[in-house]
Amino acid sequence: MKNMKRYRLIILFCLCFLAVANVNAQNDWQVPAKENENLSPFLFDDDMILEGRISYENSCTSCHGSPGQDDFTPMAPPPGDPASDQFQLQTDGALFHKIKMGRGTMPKFEDAFADDELWNLIAYIRSFNKDYKQELPNMEGVVIPEYSMKLSFDENIDKLVVKVFANEEAQAEVGVTAYVMGTFGKFLVGKAQTNQLGIAYLDVDPTMPGDEEGKLNVLVKATKGFARAKMESKMTMVEPTIRKSAIEGRHIWSTDKMAPVWLKASFFITIFGVWLVLLVIVIGLRGIKKANEDEA
């Protein structure tokens, strides 16, 4: 009996120890020192936050919930709320490393997102921390070029052609992203890098709905490190959309065009018949009335 009690105690002790060890293991996500100090080569601006939000909603909300709402999915270890201290007290480099490499249930996003997209996510996560001040890498002696762009559309290859310049000089290896601005938000057209001639080609889906002249409102962004530029332009790129008036063509309520001749004919014959019956009745009633008067 005494032995039994001792066994129970030992088992209980072991369980407690395991639980504590497990919790410790969860919190103890080591990030290599070099990675921990890694800084974003981009300035976290509104554009980055917006892009980060889109990626976050597509890839992270399912587990981490909406930042600041503490509505992350309950699982072990808990994913945590990105607006909480658990996230915010870490360095940008640590967050970058963890999102990129993953651990256990936390997926590895290395292949899903390019580095600049990972930084977008961190810009978004940081937007929930009003005390956050971005630490920038040493920019001494670094000149940030001012980009300008030239857009055209090559209809032979269905590609948007973007040329990036700085001081009239073509810029190579610049990341170019293009969107189509629609009524309900913006749609990604594609991403590409400029070649040695400073030109990037982006595939355009020719089935995209344009306006009556086949024009699309495109937004093009060029980024490389801290250099970034934006340009919006209306360009003819797709087949024109012919908008039909609501009463035109084969709409159900467009009875005139929909109805075959026999249907129209029988409709009018029926109407005519009804009026004819009414007329006969009226004439009949008048006859009765007249007969009455004659009698009196």
- How many other CB atoms are found less than 10 A from the CB of residue 263? 11
Stretch that binds ligand HEC, among 91-99, 153-161, 212-220, 260-268 (CB under 6 A): 91-99
Q: Can residue 190 be called a binding residue for ligand HEC (CB under 6 A)?
A: no
> Please, how many CA atoms are within 13 Å of residue 194, restricted to the half-sphere of its CB?
26
Q: Can residue 97 be called a binding residue for ligand HEC (CB under 6 A)?
A: no
- Tell me how far, at minimum, the Cβ of 34 lies from ligand HEC, in Å: 18
116 in Cβ contact with 175 (< 8 Å): yes
Phi, psi of 62 (to 5 degrees): -55, -35
Please state, in angstroms and rounded to a whole number, the distance separating the CA atoms of residues 218 and 235: 7
Total interface residues for ligand HEC by CB under 6 A? 23
Q: Can residue 126 be called a binding residue for ligand HEC (CB under 6 A)?
A: no
* Residue among 26, 193, 236, 270 that touches ligand HEC (CB under 6 A): 26
* Residue among 6, 8, 103, 108 that touches ligand HEC (CB under 6 A): 103
Q: Which is nearer to ligand HEC, 29 or 201 (CB)?
A: 29
Retrieve residue 170's tokens. Answer: 């073509």
* Residue among 39, 43, 50, 63 that touches ligand HEC (CB under 6 A): 63
Q: Can residue 195 be called a binding residue for ligand HEC (CB under 6 A)?
A: no
Q: Can residue 59 be called a binding residue for ligand HEC (CB under 6 A)?
A: yes
Q: Which is nearer to ligand HEC, 80 or 214 (CB)?
A: 80
Closest CA to 191 of 179, 181, 177: 177
Closest CA to 137 of 226, 35, 223: 226
Retrieve residue 41's tokens. Answer: 């080569």
Please state, in angstroms and rounded to a whole number, the distance separating the CA atoms of residues 282 and 279: 5
Q: Can residue 83 be called a binding residue for ligand HEC (CB under 6 A)?
A: no
Stretch that binds ligand HEC, among 58-66, 170-178, 192-200, 217-225 (CB under 6 A): 58-66
Closest CA to 123 of 223, 194, 232: 223
Q: Can residue 75 be called a binding residue for ligand HEC (CB under 6 A)?
A: yes
Please state, in angstroms and rounded to a whole number, the distance separating the CA atoms of residues 69 and 81: 7
38 in Cβ contact with 92 (< 8 Å): yes
- Tell me how far, at minimum, the Cβ of 38 lies from ligand HEC, in Å: 13
Binding site for ligand HEC (CB under 6 A): 26, 29, 59-60, 62-64, 75, 77, 79-80, 86-87, 95, 98-99, 103-107, 109, 121
